[in-house]
Amino acid sequence: MERFVIQGNTRVHGEIAISGSKNAALPILAAVLLCDGATVVDNLPQLQDVATSLELLGSLGVELGMAGTRRLEANPRQVHSLTAPYELVRKMRASILVLGPMLTRFGEANVSFPGGCAIGSRPVDIHLQGLRALGASIEIEDGFIRATVDGRLHGTTICMPMVSVGATENLMMAAALAKGTTRLENAACEPEISDLANCLNAWGARVTGAGTQTIVIEGVERMPGGYFRVMPDRIETGTYLAAAAATRGSIRVTDADPSTLEQVLQTLRATGAYVALGADWISLDMQGRRPLAVDLVTAPYPGFPTDMQAQLTVVNAVADGVGRVTETIFENRFMQIQELRRMGADIVIDANTATVKGVNRLKGTRVLASDLRASASLIIAALAADGETCIDDIHYVDRGYECIEAKLHQLGVQIIRMTSE
């Protein structure tokens, strides 16, 4: 098991570049299966989840090659398997995104039920209901989703019972090669949805309305492939900005997209941070001051992102005042709070709301990471704490943060990765 050892009482300062978006890259990699020609995916982040996606594509027979560290060249002309096995899918929930592309292009898909972080129930029912509406036959057998279609899927109108990013992505891709027009109502509006739509269109699809609650997909007979560059990672961006806010520091992030972070930036300004923006950069400066406590409620985009809740909870933990954090997306996303309490945080949970009374300093100790964003929050807490903090079970963080030690070193942080017995 690996752990981070972090020296606290560190004021984050400096400049870093933001990597490509994990949450955009994963569906885009699944979309490679829709094409009958070569594709190029640029600005891929070097993450464990991306490596798992590439391993999954390779197991299906997709020809893969890297030009440098972030530019993938892929060709699905030799796909020989339509089964996504348990040993790969269990590592990452986003693996279910190959279901729609395989089904619509090859007429069959066998996908094991997915795994991932244990942050709550994320049922796949909406995916399956939508695929059935498009004409798929689906059976659940031996832990696998077995989907088939006789001929092509058929376009239709699908009103999703709740907003789901994954289902929106899966159904967009399935509809791309369906016969006729598909309308997705109550669709997710996240920037990563728009990035996927832009990618599909660059590769030959016809998608309009992405970024709104109604997405229209006019099915095409084939998608030849092409080039696409993945958007910047808005959650990585927000995480480093939150680290600067919690440690009374200053930071400038480049290769970013400020337009995707309006709610996060508004919340950070409410902490007293001075935030400035450019076309592809963001700077935040606390001018050495302790942050002010803020209230926030997570919600689907354009609301405050659930993936930034844990990081802002830490900002509140060292802030002046009392902040209330309400989580409306996942029921188990306060798991990091028990560890923050071990560091001296004053947090009380009532149902889905955490009331956080800020303390002047946290105290370094040994804590355990429980999921991806919780890992990031514990790193921020360690930076804002007195003394040394050991964070165990840090494999989660490698799923979503590229070269995190190197970037933190650039920001003046003393952090070491160690392998424990």
- Give the 3-state secondary structure of 348-391: EEECCEEEEECCCCEECCEEECCCHHHHHHHHHHHHCEECEEEE
Q: What residues are paired with 282 via a beta bridge?
A: 253, 277
- Give the 3-state secondary structure of the chain: CEEEEEECCCCCEEEEECCECHHHHHHHHHHHHHECCCEEEECCCCCHHHHHHHHHHHHHCCEEEECCCCCEEEECCCCCCCEECHHHHCCCHHHHHHHHHHHHHHCEEEEECCCCCCCCCCCCHHHHHHHHHCCCEEEEECCEEEEECCCCCECCEEECCCCCHHHHHHHHHHHHCCECEEEEECCCCCHHHHHHHHHHHHCCCCEECECECEEEEECCCCECCCEEECCECHHHHHHHHHHHHHCCCEEEEECCCHHHCHHHHHHHHHCCCEEEECCCEEEEECCCCCCECCCEEECCCCCECHHHHHHHHHHHHCCECEEEEECCCCCCCCCHHHHHHHCCCEEEEECCEEEEECCCCEECCEEECCCHHHHHHHHHHHHCEECEEEEECHHHHHHCCCCHHHHHHHCCCCEEEEECC
Say how far apart CA 238 and CA 14 lie, in whole Å. Answer: 15
Cβ(382)–Cβ(392) below 8 Å: no
117 as an active site residue: the answer is yes
Catalytic site residue from 35, 117, 189, 199: 117
19-93-393 Cα angle (round to 5)? 70
Chain centroid, CA 84 distance in Å: 21
Looking at the annotation, which residues are catalytic? 117
